[in-house]
């Protein structure tokens, strides 16, 4: 009997290639949205969820978004996935807590949402039931989100600004949409909503106890003195001549931004550089109490700095960029919040290992070798020496951050 050979179908081959292209694009967009960071436990299975997010209202656990049909989103349709991204409502109509950045993801186009959906459907199924949230009353009542949404959520895809260039609009789409940068870099009020009047001006990240600096053109604590190449370097490599990323931002660069194209990172940088300065350019003159505290702590701080820090950051704080960032005239050092420099001295850390910086230089932790007084002294010295105009830090501030989680 002759073998039955199915006829070659160029149309089927073209369809398969088109689907493969969509999945590849979806993987890229999922990287841009940094989906893996929230929906994957450290050392856990990719997109299996279960990562705890501690908030002022209790602990949220991220859901499984793998292709598993029982515990993930494998039984969802593309329409249901887009509705979730666009409206912040699950397939059963329940309102999502805004730890899921749907206030930004609503700006994602339908085509991009469908591509991300196709990619997630192509990932290995992870059978891992979702863990229920542990929120205090009354925050465990989802119906209260109706009021929150009326105040802080505006549904709608991104609409290009015809007055701006295609590159600026691409950057705005990535920064305001998939990148959801405003979620961390905008102050949060008592209701857990971003203060729109202070968009991108920086704010404390309560989930992780780090301070996200301003992304506006403010010169006191923003990007006013940065050029485009320096912003691109920080976003793509994790280091630049102006500084390095640590803490939560290091994770963003590692999981997300290093995988983006040069064109997209440049577009994001163009958009960020164009954000107008709003506030914070001028700091108030130091009070007499602040001057006295600086005077009392700085001598000890200088002694510790010369012994522990000068070898890498140089005697006058000029650093050895890009491996060892400068501390003199470093905006992240002199911000009104001293959280980041305190945490760096206590916990140390590394910038992320990236394609452009595969072997980053790190900083050792000093939590075990320096007392609270000594940490306060050296951070105060760094924030006030070499022309820096930061305020002194207190022993109490150091002590409160000593037990903060690393991530």
Residue 10 backbone dihedrals phi, psi, to 5 degrees: -60, -30
Q: How far is CA 374 from CA 91, 159, 303, 380, 389, in A?
A: 53, 52, 10, 10, 20
Beta carbons within 10 angstroms of residue 83's beta carbon:
17
d(CA 198, CA 376): 29
| 106-133 average pLDDT score | 97
> What pLDDT shows up at residue 283?
53
- Over residues 242-257, the pLDDT tens digits come to 888 988 899 999 999 9
Which of 376, 384, 365, 381 lies closest to 302, judged by CA? 381
Q: Name the DSSP class of 389.
A: -
User: If you write DSSP's letter for every residue of 332-370 in order, what string do you get?
Assistant: HHHSS--HHHHHHHHH-B-PPP-SS-SS---B---TTTS
- Over residues 22-31, the pLDDT tens digits come to 999 999 999 9
d(CA 84, CA 100): 10
User: If you write DSSP's letter for every residue of 250-268 in order, what string do you get?
Assistant: HHHHHHTGGGS-HHHHHHH
Which of 100, 176, 108 lies closest to 142, judged by CA? 100
CB-based contacts of 6: which residues, under 8 Å, 6+ apart? none
d(CA 310, CA 49): 43
Chain Cα centroid distance, residue 145 = 24
In the chain, what percentage of residues exceed pLDDT 90? 64
> What pLDDT shows up at residue 149?
93
Does the pLDDT value for residue 207 go beyond 70?
A: no
Looking at the whole model, is its pTM more than 0.95? Answer: no
pLDDT band of residue 174 (cuts 50, 70, 90) is very high
- Over residues 266-277, the pLDDT tens digits come to 999 999 999 988
Q: Which long-range contacts (CB under 8 A, 24 or more apart) does 48-51 make?
A: 48/72, 48/126, 48/128, 49/126, 49/128, 49/130, 49/131, 50/128, 50/130, 50/131
- Over residues 322-333, the pLDDT tens digits come to 888 899 988 888
Q: How far is CA 69 from CA 73, 80, 84, 129, in A?
A: 6, 14, 17, 11
Mean pLDDT over the full length of the chain: 89
Does the pLDDT value for residue 98 go beyond 60?
A: yes
> What pLDDT shows up at residue 225?
84
pLDDT band of residue 281 (cuts 50, 70, 90) is very low
Top-confidence residue, 224 or 95: 95
> What pLDDT shows up at residue 294?
62
Which of 33, 28, 37 lies closest to 250, judged by CA? 37
């Amino acid at each position: 009997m002759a073998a039955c050979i199915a006829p070659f179908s160029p149309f089927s081959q073209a369809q398969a290639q088109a689907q493969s292209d969509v999945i590849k694009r979806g993987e890229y967009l999922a990287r841009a949205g940094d989906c893996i960071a929230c929906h994957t436990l450290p050392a856990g299975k990719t997109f299996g969820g279960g990562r705890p997010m501690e908030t002022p209202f209790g602990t949220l656990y991220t859901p499984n978004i793998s292709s598993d049909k029982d515990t993930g989103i494998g039984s969802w349709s593309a329409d249901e996935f887009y509705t979730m991204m666009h409206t912040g409502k699950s397939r059963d109509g329940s309102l999502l807590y805004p730890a899921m950045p749907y206030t930004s993801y609503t700006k994602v186009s339908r085509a991009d949402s469908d591509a991300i959906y196709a990619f997630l459907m192509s990932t290995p199924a992870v059978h891992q039931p979702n863990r229920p949230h542990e929120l205090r009353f009354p925050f465990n009542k989802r119906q209260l989100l109706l009021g929150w949404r009326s105040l802080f959520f505006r549904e709608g895809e991104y609409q290009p600004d015809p007055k701006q260039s295609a590159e600026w609009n691409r950057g705005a789409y990535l920064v305001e949409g998939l990148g959801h940068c405003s979620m961390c870099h905008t102050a949060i009020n008592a209701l857990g909503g971003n203060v729109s009047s202070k968009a991108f001006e920086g704010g404390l990240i309560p989930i992780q106890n780090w301070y996200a600096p301003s992304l506006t053109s403010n010169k006191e604590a923003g990007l006013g003195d940065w050029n485009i190449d320096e912003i691109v370097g920080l976003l793509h490599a994790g280091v630049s001549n102006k500084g390095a990323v640590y803490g939560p931002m290091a994770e963003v660069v590692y999981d997300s931004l290093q995988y983006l194209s040069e064109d997209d990172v440049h577009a994001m940088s163009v958009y960020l550089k164009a954000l107008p300065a709003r506030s914070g350019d001028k700091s108030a003159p130091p009070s007499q109490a602040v001057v006295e505290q600086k005077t009392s702590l700085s001598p000890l701080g200088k002694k510790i700095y010369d012994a522990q820090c000068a070898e890498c950051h140089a005697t006058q704080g000029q650093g050895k960029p890009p491996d060892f960032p400068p501390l003199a005239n470093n905006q992240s050092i002199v911000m009104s919040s001293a959280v980041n420099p305190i945490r760096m001295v206590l916990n140390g850390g590394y910038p992320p290992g990236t394609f452009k910086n595969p072997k980053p230089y790190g900083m050792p932790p000093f939590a075990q070798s320096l007392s609270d007084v000594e940490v306060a002294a050296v951070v105060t010295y760094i924030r006030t020496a070499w022309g820096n105009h930061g305020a002194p830090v207190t022993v109490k501030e150091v002590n409160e951050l000593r037990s903060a989680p690393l991530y």
